[in-house]
């Protein structure tokens, strides 16, 4: 079966690709292994030069690359441009900071010299999703290549053109041949790649299903994994919040990338005393979003990436309604061509309903009343996921409690959750494990080698 690139705005087939044969796949793994063996000799300063060239290429070709993202997965084009620019920023971050992050760390243990040195692990497989088809890859690629690893990308099957474009950019930036390759393969071939002894680790960004499958196999093979999986982040609004800012931020946080973001605010928890006015403002702002052709500059919500996404999201909305939820706006598929779903707000969904524990991957918000900060924290934590949380309050006591008691990988107070090259990114619980970005992300695929150098016994003064 071919790998197809289909425009989600109109269903038109853009291109199709024949997946690699198993033989061709093994050749690419060999190339990666050879590249890794030599890449360690390339000085850090030269890697940084290539990384900056990569950033330059991204910045110079932003418009074309963004148009490719939009054509393949429907992201509104202005947001697609921001994604490309962000990729350039992560390249520059690691070009600038790799030397500091990779520097040996002396440890005082008394009589002997001791330090930690960082060494690359080898060829790392990256299994990536379509929702940020460049950013998800670059936040692996930039630290991995700066650290001296080699990368193999198995991208989501609906964004093959983005996957090819990324390999091409890396090649043009001057990285040695084979240090980063795209594998146009089916899911069923991932097992072969991971089982290959030349592949030493894997990073997965995607659904729980993908994470489970890969982590189970990697666990058996004793290969390191990092998992960045789903989320159902809470967005908490307490009475002291800056009201208008919080309403606008909730809409932005729910609807970024047409709602298809792991860190989107999927559950909006609002204090009882401001709930009615917040709900009215939130619904009005959701209804005001411009839904339409993602190639238009002023479009805020584009089509969802695939027809299956629309079908699954709509089934979740209908299940929420059957469970007792009320549709405040939206709630029905947009008829006609393209994978469009309208911005939707659901209220009064019983907290025990299954949908409250699922991820809603589209512009659909669940709105909840909470009676106080205890109730807000308890409901926020009542989820199998633990990626991030955004909370809005001017009370310092509440801020301290939210930072300490929310069980997730990141808490943003009076700010929308966002990834940033300088900040560790990742989750707990079923959102996965491990971190990306910052020094923590770079070190996931490094061997922290402990070295202890004692003076020879004979050179020491005799013990008294
Ligand atoms: P997905 O269906 O799991 O796909 C992600 C990648 O995994 C694709 O390359 C996919 O290949 C592959 N894959 C799927 N099943 C697999 C299996 N059994 N074995 C090996 N590989 C497999 O997820 P998605 O729908 O593309 O992405 C949406 C999900 O990603 C959401 O849950 C979202 O929250 C999560 N996400 C998490 C983060 C984070 O940082 N935590 C960031 C972005 C997205 P095919 O495309 O060929 O099926």
Strands (E), 262-402: 265-271, 326-329, 344-347, 364-370, 385-386, 388-392
pLDDT computed for residue 336 by the predictor: 85
pLDDT computed for residue 334 by the predictor: 85
Task: Assess whether pLDDT exceeds 80 at residue 457.
Answer: no
Q: Is the pTM of this model over 0.85?
A: yes
DSSP sequence for 374-403:
HHHHHHHH-SSEESEEEEE---HHHHHHHH
Residue range(s) occupied by CATH 3.40.309.10 in the chain? 233-413
pLDDT band at 464 (very low <50, low <70, confident <90, very high): low
Choose which CATH entry (3.40.605.10, 3.40.630.30, 3.90.550.10, 3.40.50.720) describes domain 3-229+431-451: 3.40.605.10
Give mean pLDDT, residues 287-299. Answer: 97
CA 186 – CA 195 distance, rounded (Å): 15
For residue 194 and ligand 1, the question of a CB distance below 6 A is answered with no
The answer to whether residue 272 is catalytic is: no
pLDDT one-digit tens code per residue, 204-257: 999 999 999 999 999 999 999 999 999 999 999 999 999 999 999 999 999 999
Query: What percentage of the chain carries pLDDT values higher than 70?
Result: 98
Among 74, 210, 261, 385, say which to mutate for ligand 1: greatest number of ligand atoms within 8 Å of CB.
Answer: 210
Q: Which of 72, 83, 167, 228 is catalytic?
A: 228
For residue 157 and ligand 1, the question of a CB distance below 6 A is answered with yes
Q: Which of 255, 262, 356, 408 is catalytic?
A: 262
CA 49 – CA 422 distance, rounded (Å): 20
pLDDT computed for residue 455 by the predictor: 81
pLDDT one-digit tens code per residue, 403-446: 999 999 999 999 999 999 999 999 999 999 999 999 999 999 99
pLDDT band at 1 (very low <50, low <70, confident <90, very high): confident
CA 7 – CA 299 distance, rounded (Å): 16
Residue range(s) occupied by CATH 3.40.605.10 in the chain? 3-229+431-451
- Mean pLDDT, the chain, rounded, equals 97
pLDDT one-digit tens code per residue, 144-181: 999 999 999 999 999 999 999 999 999 999 999 999 99
Task: Assess whether pLDDT exceeds 60 at residue 267.
Answer: yes
* Non-local CB neighbours of 165 within 8 Å, separated by 6+ positions: 65, 68
Superfamily of domain 233-413 in CATH is Aldehyde Dehydrogenase; Chain A, domain 2 (3.40.309.10)
CA 107 – CA 127 distance, rounded (Å): 36
């Amino acid at each position: 079966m071919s790998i197809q690139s289909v425009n989600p705005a109109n269903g038109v087939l853009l291109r199709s690709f024949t997946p690699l044969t198993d033989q061709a796949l093994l050749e690419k793994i060999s190339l990666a292994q050879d590249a890794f063996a030599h890449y360690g000799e390339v000085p850090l300063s030269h890697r940084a030069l290539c990384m900056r060239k990569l950033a330059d290429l991204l910045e110079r070709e932003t418009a074309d690359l963004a148009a490719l993202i939009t054509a393949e997965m429907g992201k509104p084009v202005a947001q697609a441009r921001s994604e490309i620019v962000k990729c350039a920023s992560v390249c520059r971050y690691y070009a600038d900071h790799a030397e500091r992050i990779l520097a040996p760390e002396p440890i005082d243990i008394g009589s002997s010299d001791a330090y930690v040195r960082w060494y690359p692990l080898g060829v790392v497989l990256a299994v990536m999703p379509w929702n940020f088809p460049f950013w998800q890859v670059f936040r692996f690629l930039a630290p991995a290549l700066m650290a001296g690893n080699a990368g193999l990308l198995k991208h989501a099957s609906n964004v093959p053109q983005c996957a090819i474009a990324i390999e091409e950019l890396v090649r043009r930036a001057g990285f040695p041949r084979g240090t980063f390759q795209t594998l146009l393969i089916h899911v069923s071939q991932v097992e072969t790649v991971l089982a290959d002894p030349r592949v030493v680790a894997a990073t997965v960004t995607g659904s729980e299903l993908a994470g489970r499958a890969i982590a189970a196999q990697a666990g058996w093979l004793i290969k390191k994994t990092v998992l960045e999986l789903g989320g159902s982040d809470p967005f908490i609004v307490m009475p002291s919040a800056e009201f208008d800012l919080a309403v606008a931020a909730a809409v932005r946080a729910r609807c970024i990338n047409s709602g298809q973001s792991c860190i989107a605010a999927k559950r909006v928890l609002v204090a009882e005393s401001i709930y009615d006015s917040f709900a009215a403002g939130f619904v009005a702002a959701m209804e005001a979003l411009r839904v339409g052709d993602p190639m238009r500059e002023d479009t805020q919500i584009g089509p969802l990436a695939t027809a299956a996404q629309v079908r699954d999201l709509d089934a979740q909305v209908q299940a929420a309604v059957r469970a007792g939820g009320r549709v405040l706006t939206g709630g029905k598929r947009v008829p006609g061509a393209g994978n469009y779903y309208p911005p939707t707000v659901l209220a009064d969904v019983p907290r025990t309903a299954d949908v409250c524990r699922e991820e809603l991957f589209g512009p659909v918000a669940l709105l909840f009343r909470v009676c106080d900060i205890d109730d807000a924290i308890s409901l926020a934590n009542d989820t199998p996921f633990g990626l991030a949380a955004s909370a809005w309050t001017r009370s310092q006591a509440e801020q301290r409690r939210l930072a300490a008691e929310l069980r997730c990988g990141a808490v943003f107070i009076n700010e929308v959750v966002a990834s940033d090259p300088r900040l560790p990114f990742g989750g707990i619980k079923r959102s996965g494990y491990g971190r990306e970005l910052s020094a923590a992300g770079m070190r996931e695929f490094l061997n922290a080698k402990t070295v202890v150098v004692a003076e020879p016994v004979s050179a020491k003064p005799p013990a008294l």
